[in-house]
Chains A and B, each alone.
Chain A
Amino acid sequence: MITIPYLTALTTYFSYGLLFVFGQFRDFFRKIVDWWLGSNLQGYAPICLGLEDFYTRRLYLRIQDCFGRPIASPPDSWVDLVERVSKDNNKTLQRTAKISRCLNLGSYNYLGFAAADEYCTPRVIESLKRFSPSTCSTRVDGGTTTLHNELEEVVANFVGKPAAIVFGMGYVTNSAVLPALIGKGGLIISDSLNHNSIVNGARGSGATVRVFQHNMPDHLEKVLREQIAEGQPRTHRPWKKIMVLVEGIYSMEGELCKLPEIVAICKKYRAYVYLDEAHSIGAIGKTGRGVCELLGVDTADVDILMGTFTKSFGSCGGYIAGSKELIQYMKYACPAHLYATSISPPAAQQIISAIRVILGEDGTSRGAQKLARIRENSNFFRSELQKMGFEVLGDNDSPVMPVMLYNPAKIPAFSRECLKNQVAVVTVAFPATPLLLARARICISASHTREDLIKALEVFSKVGDLIGIKYFPAEPDKQQQDEGRVKLE
């Protein structure tokens, strides 16, 4: 749980209040001007709703330059950031020819497969030449190539399930598979901080959705008991099936899922477990097999394993792994398999090659080194940040670490100051997080060197002092401690 200091909460509310009041002021004058010029809607309702649009116009646009920064290089440990200028007060941004080389702490390049790779890239280009970038067809019609079948086998093997099915986009994997798995009369119990794709998938399925408090197995059990006892709303018929949706690593919290406890509860109450390993597959665990391996959960106990290839494998797409029958049924019923173009063959090859490297099947130990490096890097960076007094969320071993900023003004301040010092970071605010809990999110990669991380820490320390986000007292260095003792004596 995040406990926000009173003073910070007060100032944060005050800041948002101020932004809101000024925004309303400006809207008021805008309305007068519009009225003066005459409406041009001609009987149509405005296409963007007032309050939703208000946030974009009056809050987001002010700090637009901190988001969507274009790059002109692969999203590797260092990126070429294209500088942008605004001539109309940040309303629009124009690209310039200027480029600044920055340390990248924002991309999900956990294992460093984003840039050209000595093993993967030649194979990817070979596949491109053989299979062209797209099949222009769905998997059931004429979009299944030998590469697709190979990919499904490799993935199933890697995650430890009998079979797997792949799709061309991670988001679609969640939002198109869930409706095929569960429907009316079913119950979905979802973690309160699940990704939007899961939320949309659950909503699209027609099943009843209940939420349990983020990563709290006790609350999950309570909700399960209540719901089983109560049955379906109104009719009180028993639920057809219950599915519990959790993520391996929560991307905005950096927390690992309490999988062993959750799986035990689900087993007790016969609920199915759907685990989204978007951020954890490839990135954690001794051989990169994700949160199941790290926390010692048998993959046979998790009914449906889902994951994406965008992050650790440096490609695109997503997979579902499960029993042979489940996958066969997905191939029959899932709309993404029937209606969407199949995953691009070169992207499929990238995944196959990346998994081969991770498993050491390329004949080197690069994969093992990468896995060791990301773990080392993550734990080093996290502990150093904590020592400096930053409020860092998440668990050890997780390569995602949010640093709390709270105040809205600190969001652009942190982002811009870091950028000035050649460090590219991601800041996240409402609506991706609750209003009060704005944060910066750091994603560590295996391709970061120790020097990179030390440079980043120096910059963070400087910027942290400048804008005041070291909410905890710094842990004194050993040297200082010793000196203190000497003085006392």
Chain B
Amino acid sequence: MASIAMDMLKAASDWLTFVFDAPFARAVVFGVNIGGHLFVEGLLIVVIVFLLSQKSYKPPKRPLTKKVCQGCLAAKGLSFCIFLTFSVGLGCVVPFETKKKNLIWAFLFLLHFHVLILYLEIDELCDEWVPEPLIPKMTDEMRYEPPILESAAGSHTLINGTEVINFASANYLGLVGHGKLLEACTESLEKYGAGSCGPRGFYGTIDVHLDCEARIAKFLGTPDSILYSYGLSTMFSAIPAFCKKGDVIVADEGVHWAIQNGLQLSRSTVVYFKHNDMESLRDMLEKVTKGNKRAEKLRRYIVVEAVYQNSGQIAPLDEIIRLKENYRFRVLLDESNSMGVLGSSGRGLTEYCKVPVGKIDIITAAMGHALATEGGVCTGSARVIDHQRLSSSGYVFSASLPPYLTSAAITAIDILEENLDLIMKLKKNIGTLCRGLSDIQGLEIASDLASPIVFLRLKKSTGSLKGDLQVLEDIAQHVLKEDSVLVATSRRSTLDKCKLPVGIRLFVSAAHTEDDLMKAGESLKRVAALALNGHD
């Protein structure tokens, strides 16, 4: 049955071909026998003319604008021309096989029709697309206004005309407003002007920059160091300079945003371990290296902070060094909150844990804390530093640190080396404050007892970061209003991936007096007792 039908179809098609071919059987163009081509061509032209005469496609909801319609017509015309050229061209080249040829025509035709529709569609899509607003809807928590200082941010400062005790500035050594520092800055400002007007590579290197790099390296006992013009940019430039796609990084889950950003920019494989938990670190190191022969060829790093900005805890460096040597990892250490604070002469965590500084491969630090200036510094072996001078984006592509701030850094280190009692004083102050806060209601001290950041977190969370922050914010507001003590809550950016609990941060300074510390402790205790009654 089927074969009969097929035969009939074949006969019919043969007959049709014969009929089509008959009038032009001997038509020859440029020496090529074109056969039934002209007929097919004519047929297609008829179809196109028919299509062109039709009204342009209109979406049901919205008519196309005038401009769009012109665009359609242009597209139609264009596609028609292309079609004609194609068909004539192909007709001359393709050998006489009607069926195949017809297939090609049909295909080409569809293609052009498709292009045409596509053009219309893109116009329509562009018309219909509605972007989200640039920023989300404003909520009350976004309208927070920070306190405005009317004088230098020393241990005591002016807010709204009243003197307050400042626990919001990481002025650990009390160098804000130090006479020698101001003198050095003034001298530098008069000599070099305010800005450096160029990146380090292009006449933005001023002799004080080189002096400062040498001074810091000498202070920390490392071969060399490199200055960055902002504390925040130090980590997120230094990490991608040494870690690329494929490298392995094991990082603490509590690292601050600059490090998180650096890890993201490096595109390395990042594994997080539990905050300050050496067991978890060991597990992660084991997991990453075990059975992974490729890992040996990759660069492997452990990224930790000396004093965690997000919790005030201190990393157990001796344990980390043991693990690092065992698993052959390199260590990147951020000493932003420990340089000038920890250790008997303020050389940071390495001195505090009695680890030779050479064991740490890369040390970074922000100078906007203990040194009371701005900028950041990275220190390590000469190779590590030289590599950054050409590969670290925040160093190469940014204007250098203003010279007066560089002079300030040099002077701050001089002051520190001459006055080691500042560190003792700070240590004592931390002790005093922690003792004063030991029996606070509803809150607990989460930070290490040697950390200059005293971190108070809620004993019982309200269940959400937002809720917690609101409670803490209320306490901070009351403490400021009623007792003139300025403390800071750990506000988080929406981009921060840190999951640690929020808290109240008190930055202790060597310039705080015993009375200041007692008053802060009393005030916090009183307000917390009122606000967190029943939270225990």
Chain A residues at the B interface, C-beta cutoff of 8 Å: 42-49, 52-53, 56, 60, 67-76, 79, 82, 95, 104, 106-109, 113-117, 120-121, 124-125, 128-137, 139-146, 149, 168-172, 175-176, 179-181, 195-197, 200, 203-204, 224-226, 228-229, 238-242, 269-272, 303-304, 308-311, 313-316, 325-326, 328-329, 331-336, 338-341, 344, 346-347, 350, 424, 426, 441
Contact = CB atoms under 8 A, between A and B. Distances in A.
B258 interface: yes
A328 B299 contact: no
Interface in B268-303: 296-300
A180 B494 contact: yes
A75 to B, nearest CB: 4
Given A108-B198, A344-B405, A114 B193 contact: yes
Contacts of B197: 75, 107-109, 114, 310-311, 314
A142 B135 contact: no
8 tightest CB-CB pairs across the interface, nearest first?
A142-B168, A341-B368, A169-B230, A141-B488, A310-B399, A171-B398, A74-B193, A340-B232
Nearest to A110: B197
Contacts of B361: 47
Contact of B398 (A179, A197, A331, A426): A197
Contacts of B136: 329
A125 B194 CA distance: 10
B206 A238 contact: no
A175 B260 CA distance: 13
A71 B206 contact: yes
Interface stretch (B32-40, B47-55, B149-157): B149-157
Nearest to B229: A169
Contacts, number: 366
Contacts of A60: 390
A116 B397 contact: no
Given A72-B206, A169-B230, 16 more contacts: A44-B330, A47-B361, A56-B391, A70-B207, A116-B190, A132-B154, A137-B168, A137-B170, A139-B146, A142-B149, A143-B146, A171-B230, A175-B236, A309-B195, A315-B402, A328-B143
Chain B contact residues (Cβ within 8 angstroms of A): what range?
35 or more
16 contacts: A47-B387, A67-B202, A74-B193, A113-B193, A132-B154, A132-B176, A134-B368, A145-B149, A169-B230, A197-B393, A228-B129, A270-B129, A272-B134, A315-B194, A329-B135, A339-B309
B153 A135 contact: yes
Counting chain B CB atoms within 10 Å of each CB, which of A73, A137, A240 scores highest? A137
Contacts of B491: 140-141, 338
A34 to B, nearest CB: 14
B131 interface: yes
A197 to B, nearest CB: 6
A74 B192 contact: yes
Contacts of A131: 151-153
B210 A204 contact: no
A184 B389 CA distance: 32
Contacts of B125: 228-229
Interface stretch (B105-113, B315-323, B369-377): B369-377
A331 B148 CA distance: 14
Contacts of A196: 393, 396-397
B191 interface: yes
A162 B257 CA distance: 29
Interface string B137-153: 01001111011111111
Contacts of B372: 132-134, 136
Given A48-B387, A333-B495, A68 B200 contact: yes
Contact of A43 (B256, B328, B394): B328
Contact of A136 (B171, B193, B207, B230): B171
A56 B387 CA distance: 8
Contacts of B166: 142
B493 interface: yes
Contact of B195 (A79, A114, A225, A228): A114
Nearest to A238: B129
Given A75-B204, A203-B265, A45 B399 contact: no
B153 A137 contact: yes
Given A42-B328, A136-B171, A180-B493, A340 B488 contact: no
Contacts of A344: 373-374, 402, 405
B373 A73 contact: no
Given A67-B202, A142-B488, A347-B195, A179 B495 contact: yes
Contacts of B384: 47
Interface in B215-239: 229-233, 236
A133 B398 contact: no
Q: Which of B265, B391, B493 has the most CB of A within 10 A?
A: B493
Given A310-B197, A347-B194, A172 B185 contact: no
Contacts of A326: 134-135
Contacts of A269: 126, 129
Interface string B357-381: 0000100001011001110000000
A74 B191 contact: yes
B258 A339 contact: yes
Given A172-B232, A241-B134, A332-B142, A107 B398 contact: no
Interface in B498-534: 505, 507
B273 to A, nearest CB: 20
B157 A142 contact: yes
Contacts of A145: 148-151, 153
Contact of B138 (A171, A225, A328): A328
Nearest to B190: A116
Contact of B296 (A45, A74, A310): A45
B88 to A, nearest CB: 29
Contact of B299 (A45, A168, A338): A45
A125 B186 contact: yes
Contact of A310 (B121, B196, B298): B196
A106 B296 CA distance: 45
A479 to B, nearest CB: 37
A241 B131 contact: yes
Contacts of A238: 129
Contacts of B203: 69, 71, 75, 79, 104, 106-107, 424, 426
Contact of B399 (A44, A115, A139, A316): A316
Contacts of B182: 128-129, 132-133
Interface in B102-130: 121-122, 125-126, 129-130
B177 interface: yes
A460 to B, nearest CB: 17
B132 interface: yes
A12 to B, nearest CB: 21
A47 B148 contact: no
A335 B496 contact: yes
Nearest to A95: B210
Contacts of A228: 122, 125-126, 129
Nearest to A108: B197
A142 B330 contact: no
B169 interface: yes
B374 A168 contact: yes
B264 interface: yes
B169 A143 contact: yes
A66 to B, nearest CB: 9
B478 interface: no
A95 B211 CA distance: 11
B261 interface: yes
A65 to B, nearest CB: 12
Contacts of A179: 261, 495
Contacts of B63: none
A338 B154 CA distance: 20
B168 A200 contact: no
A200 B129 contact: no
B486 interface: yes
A415 B392 CA distance: 24
B153 A136 contact: yes
Given A71-B207, A133-B185, A44 B169 contact: no
